[in-house]
Structure 1
Amino acid sequence: MTITKPKARRGRPPNVEREFTDTREALLRSGMEMLTEQGFATTGIDAILKRINVPKGSFYNYFKNKEAFGQEVLRQYALYFARKLDYCFLNEQVSAMQRISDFVEDAKSGMIKHEFRRGCLVGNLGQEIIVLPDSFRCELENILLDWQERLAVCLRLAVQQGQIPSNSDCDELAAFFWIGWEGAVLRAKLTQDVSPLDTFFPRFCSRNTEVIFLFIFLDDRSKFFYSFIDDWSK
């Protein structure tokens, strides 16, 4: 018996792995967009699939269930947000406090761009924690701790640069920032404007100090200056 060797197909071979990756990434992007707008509990799988025209059967090729999908969306969001923080907090072209201010301004621009429909996924899920699977609790806490540490590093640099008092507890300030930030983002979604962020950030800068930092942006380079005045809140 003669076995006939099949003829090789002409052209480039089909990239099955790429198809898998593209569909999976499309699902995650769709999920991230919807979860930042609506939260986990009220977002159905069907709505996520409809948004990108993916059949329901395909979803279960990549994710065991909605919980597994939500956890992966959260992990991808954490990676995305960590890159955003690094872009701002590790920018050696500007001072430490300017880096934090740049992050705030970028966040304000993002909220305006999306017409205040999207908030912070971590904050959204944190508000739903009572109804979420237990697996989310530890993941959310670890993400927040990671953000705190990234900010604390930037604040320690601010101490070295003489922008905040030398006795500042940078870990405590970083924790305070994210606690207040999530509340400010939520309030901004409610009011449909960035004034809650504008209210929060200056008060964060004066937290546990005897001074108020004034942020003045001048010329095309938006140079950062700060001056100290007595804290009139006493």
Structure 2
Amino acid sequence: MMPDKDTRDIILEAGHKAITAKSYHACGLKEILDLAGVPKGSFYHYFKSKDDFGLQLIENSTDGWNQECRGKLTDRSFTPLNRLKNYFNDKITYFLEHGLSCECALPKMVLETSQLNEVMRGAIKYSFDSMASVLAQTIREAQIADEIACKDDADMLANMINSALQGIIIRVQIDQSIVPLEQFVALIFKNILQEKSSS
């Protein structure tokens, strides 16, 4: 018999695939459990309801996402500016390597649940705020190191850039082109953060 954690993760992974392919509300529990290959009783051993499952899926997805992004932005072997560049260039690399269709259930769940489920909305907001906080700290460090000319409030910049990034990612999928993201990243460093010349 598999350890509890493995069974829970299998159900979450199946849910992620099903929701990515369709949507949160369009996926029934039977479809998710058939994909996971586990009996219905297993679901209610780990999740109180479908909404509880959705909440845990959000937390599971954002924990991994935030950990990866935080690693890029806090890697002290790079200067603050280069950490920012690594963070955004990694987004471009991801799409080039995995294709231009976003393989993530979170954006769909944001659109579907943020106005209907306060608990899920709070979990998503917490994730976005946490990521913006780390981004803001790195921007702040780049300002202190005099690597960028923009002296606007770092928290405001991080929230604006993060929000714009979500829209750009949607545009990448609509256009099926990486160009909008490449243009956005170039704009961030040239016009928003105003990267200073190293010469």
The residue number in structure 1 matching 2:197 is 227
Alignment partner of 2:32 out of 43, 48, 53: 48
- Tell me the secondary structure at the aligned position of residue 141 of structure 2: helix
The residue number in structure 1 matching 2:16 is 32
Distance 1:111 1:35 in 2: 19
The answer for unaligned runs of 5 or more in structure 2 is: none
CA RMSD of aligned residues (A): 2.4
Aligned pairs, number: 198
The residue number in structure 1 matching 2:130 is 146
The residue number in structure 1 matching 2:42 is 58
- Tell me the secondary structure at the aligned position of residue 128 of structure 1: helix
- TM superposition shift of 1:178: 0.8
Distance 2:130 2:42 in 1: 33
Conserved 8 A contact 1:88-1:99: yes
- Tell me the secondary structure at the aligned position of residue 3 of structure 2: helix
The residue number in structure 1 matching 2:141 is 157
- TM superposition shift of 1:158: 0.6
Distance 2:97 2:32 in 1: 21
Distance 1:130 1:73 in 2: 14
The residue number in structure 1 matching 2:167 is 183
Can you list the C-alpha shifts for 1:123-149, whole angstroms capped at 9, x where unaligned?
A: 332222466423212221121111110
The structure that is helix-richer by fraction is 2
- Identify if the C-alpha distance between structure 1 residues 53 and 122 changes in structure 2 by more than 3 Å, giving closer, same or farther: closer
Can you list the C-alpha shifts for 1:74-127, whole angstroms capped at 9, x where unaligned?
A: 111121012111210011122212222222222223233432333554433222
Structure 2: which amino acid aligns with 1:65? S
| Greater mean deviation of Cα atoms: 40-49 or 72-81 | 40-49
Question: Percent same amino acid at aligned positions?
Answer: 23
Conserved 8 A contact 1:34-1:48: yes
Structure 2: which amino acid aligns with 1:188? V
The residue number in structure 2 matching 1:85 is 69
The residue number in structure 2 matching 1:216 is none
- Identify if the C-alpha distance between structure 1 residues 199 and 87 changes in structure 2 by more than 3 Å, giving closer, same or farther: same
The residue number in structure 2 matching 1:168 is 152
Conserved 8 A contact 1:120-1:182: no
Distance 1:33 1:108 in 2: 22
Conserved 8 A contact 2:114-2:120: no
Higher relative contact order at CA 8 Å, sep ≥6: structure 1 or structure 2?
Answer: 2
1:95 matched to 2:95? no
The answer for unaligned runs of 5 or more in structure 1 is: 1-15, 214-225, 229-234
Structure 1: which amino acid aligns with 2:15? G
The residue number in structure 2 matching 1:127 is 111
Conserved 8 A contact 2:17-2:105: no
TM-score, length basis structure 1: 0.74
Conserved 8 A contact 1:37-1:118: no
- TM superposition shift of 1:45: 2.2
Structure 2: which amino acid aligns with 1:100? L
Distance 1:112 1:48 in 2: 29
Distance 1:113 1:49 in 2: 29
| Greater mean deviation of Cα atoms: 35-44 or 144-153 | 35-44
- TM superposition shift of 1:227: 2.5
